[in-house]
Amino acid sequence: MNRRHRHRTRNGLKGWNCRPCRPDYLNRIHLVTDNKGAQTMLKKSVLFTMICLLMPAICFAIIPIPARIGGTVTIGGAALSQADATNYSFKVTRSNGTDLSPATAQSAGLNATDWYIIDIPMYDANDQTGGAHPGDSLKIHVYNGGTELNVTAPSDGRFNCGDSGSTAQINLAAQAEPANIPTLSEWGMILFAMLLASSIIYTMRRNNTFDQLR
């Protein structure tokens, strides 16, 4: 036995903790175990690196707090309550009627305090490009069963958007029924009636003139 390779024996058995003396299959087992440990450490290192790289992006990807508006609703001079507002809905768009994105600026019915509540999405260059800017001209729409009503307060439903995280009370007033816009046939009937009345007046004046000449 090589002096450099002396080891203690117990009950005449070789010490298997000694790498040169233990069987070859045990050395292979230790080799596989060492490789698995190295692979586990490598996976943990890669995972830790990915977390470190993604953490700043996660921290900075914060969507702006919406601007909240709310208030009472008066329809045809009568205050609207939660029980009566089951068919009513409210929506905020840009002043030209285009929708905001995401489409969260809408509400159905009233809450327990008989208020409508709408959260307006705010603009963010990275995550919310369809949101509103502070000071933008927006418009509130009131619907009854899908039919849009004419909002009289604020005038034509227009208001200016507040800052991110702001709250504003905007009480709404709308007509009970949508305004009737005359159709082309109705305008034609009105014009025909005016022409008929004019012709009658002209005929009466002409007859009076002839009577005076006689």
pLDDT in tens, 71-104: 999 999 999 999 999 999 999 999 999 999 998 8
Ramachandran quadrant class, 137 (left: phi over 0; alpha: psi -120 to 50; beta: rest): beta
| Greater pLDDT, 20 or 172 | 172
209: phi then psi, degrees, rounded to nearest 5: -65, -45
Q: For the chain, report the end-to-end CA distance as a whole number of angstroms.
A: 162
The 10s digit of each residue's pLDDT in 148-168 is 999 999 999 999 999 999 999
Q: What length does the chain have?
A: 214
> Measured between alpha carbons, how far is residue 213 from residues 13, 39, 208, 209, 210 in Å?
156, 123, 9, 6, 5
With 70 as the cut, is the pLDDT of residue 31 above it? Answer: no
Does pTM surpass 0.75? no
Rounded to an integer, what distance in angstroms lies between the CA atom of residue 46 and that of residue 51? 9
Task: Give the mean pLDDT of 49-62.
Answer: 60
The 10s digit of each residue's pLDDT in 164-211 is 999 999 999 999 877 555 565 677 788 888 888 888 887 877 776 656
pLDDT of the residue at 77: 93
**Confidence band (pLDDT; 50, 70, 90) for 2?**
very low
**Confidence band (pLDDT; 50, 70, 90) for 34?**
low
With 80 as the cut, is the pLDDT of residue 59 above it? Answer: no
Of 14-23, 33-42, 133-142, which one has max mean pLDDT? 133-142
